[in-house]
């Protein structure tokens, strides 16, 4: 990863791939297809989008990845990152204070955004024991690699039991007490969407879309949006859209006729139980022809 030094401690348990703007650590076992997709993203030489990385990490099906952590730098920032965790992997973030981020048991993954970060460490939960003050048992903390850690180059998959990144220009020393991870206080841009030729709507929180959508049992604040009643190939509760920080997540709710993600001329089926991170400009085809479009920010404002 640029603007810093990435190191890994030789060991087993994690497969690590690094690109210009991201680090991905995947727990064993993992399909060679998954590693190849991550290596291709890293080798592209471009600032990879989170959308592409999450598409390479299936959470359902034969190649499902049981545990992973992705840390990706926000565009135009050197100290702001989005972190995604699944399974038992732990990400410790160093900056003004030491923060620890895990999946928290959230399925299929947990996503949050952090600012004022000048180092991070990824490891298995069993290896994440720390003494008071955030000092790890091996004597180092995020941004201070332990003995035996070696540099990791971009675009290759390496085996390690711990990975550590330190910024070239660190911030002030972290506070002594470790604090639980909390999202960065950032202002999210409004996200607008439209169903077919219907009105432009504002995406706030979670939205469920279908012919007769039902609220989720534990998400009582959901907004219910009806599609065109004549859309016979759209299920009663077909698709869920939600905001996670500044990100947009789309989830097919086990629909009968499926959801297809359309972006840049490419069409990809969203598998039920495998949410996808999407961006403005993406279209989602529900069944045969109903289109949900995530509008660019310059489109008309909702009425």
| Ordered structural domains, the chain, with CATH | 4-180 (3.60.40), 192-295 (2.60.200.20)
The pTM of this model reads 0.82
User: How large is the C-alpha radius of gyration of the chain?
Assistant: 20
What's the rounded Cα separation, in Å, for the pair 114 and 120? Answer: 11
192-251 pLDDT tens trace = 999 999 999 999 889 999 998 988 776 556 677 877 777 889 999 999 999 998 899 999
Is it the case that residue 181 has pLDDT exceeding 60? Answer: no
Longest Cα pair distance anywhere in the chain, in angstroms? Answer: 64
DSSP letter (8 states) at residue 219: B
Supply the pLDDT for residue 249: 96
Mean pLDDT value across the chain = 85
Which pLDDT does position 101 carry in this prediction?
A: 96
pLDDT at position 224 is 78
Q: Is pLDDT larger for residue 72 or for residue 1? A: 72
Mean pLDDT of 263-291: 93
| Alpha carbons 293 and 278: distance in angstroms, whole number | 11
Give pLDDT, residue 102: 96
DSSP state of 39: H
Q: Count CA atoms within 13 Å of residue 71 on its CB side.
A: 32
Is the model more confident about 41 or about 186? 41
Average of pLDDT values for 43-53?
A: 88
165 alpha-carbon distance from chain centroid: 18
Bridge-based pairing state of the strands 179-180 and 99-101 = parallel
Per-residue pLDDT tens digits for 56-104 = 999 998 999 999 999 999 988 889 999 999 999 999 999 988 999 999 9
């Amino acid at each position: 990863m640029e603007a810093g030094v990435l190191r890994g401690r030789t060991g087993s348990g994690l497969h690590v791939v690094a690109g210009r703007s991201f680090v991905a650590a995947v727990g064993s076992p993992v399909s060679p297809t998954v590693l190849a997709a991550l290596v291709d993203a890293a080798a592209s030489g471009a600032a990879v989008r989170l959308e592409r990385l999450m598409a390479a990490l299936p959470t359902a099906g034969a190649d499902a990845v049981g545990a992973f952590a992705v840390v990706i730098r926000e565009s135009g920032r050197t100290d702001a990152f989005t972190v995604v965790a699944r399974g038992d992997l732990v990400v410790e973030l160093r900056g003004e204070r030491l923060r620890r981020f895990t999946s928290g048991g959230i399925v299929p993954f947990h996503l949050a955004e952090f600012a004022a970060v000048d180092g991070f460490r990824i490891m298995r939960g069993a290896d994440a024991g720390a003494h008071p003050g955030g000092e790890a048992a091996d004597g180092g903390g995020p941004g201070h690699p332990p003995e035996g850690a070696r540099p990791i180059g971009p675009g290759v998959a390496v085996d390690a039991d711990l990975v550590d990144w330190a910024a070239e220009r660190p911030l002030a020393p972290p506070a002594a007490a470790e604090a639980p991870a909390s999202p960065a206080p950032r202002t999210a841009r409004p996200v607008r969407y439209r169903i077919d030729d219907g009105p432009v709507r504002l995406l706030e929180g979670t939205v469920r879309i279908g012919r007769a959508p039902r609220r989720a049992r534990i998400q009582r604040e959901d907004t219910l949006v009806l599609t065109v009643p004549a859309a016979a190939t759209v299920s009663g509760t077909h698709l869920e859209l939600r905001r996670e920080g500044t990100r947009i997540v789309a989830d097919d709710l086990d629909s009968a006729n499926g959801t297809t993600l359309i972006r840049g001329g490419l069409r990809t089926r969203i598998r039920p139980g495998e949410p996808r991170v999407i961006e403005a400009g993406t279209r989602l085809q529900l069944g045969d022809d109903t289109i949900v479009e995530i509008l660019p920010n310059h489109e008309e404002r909702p009425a």
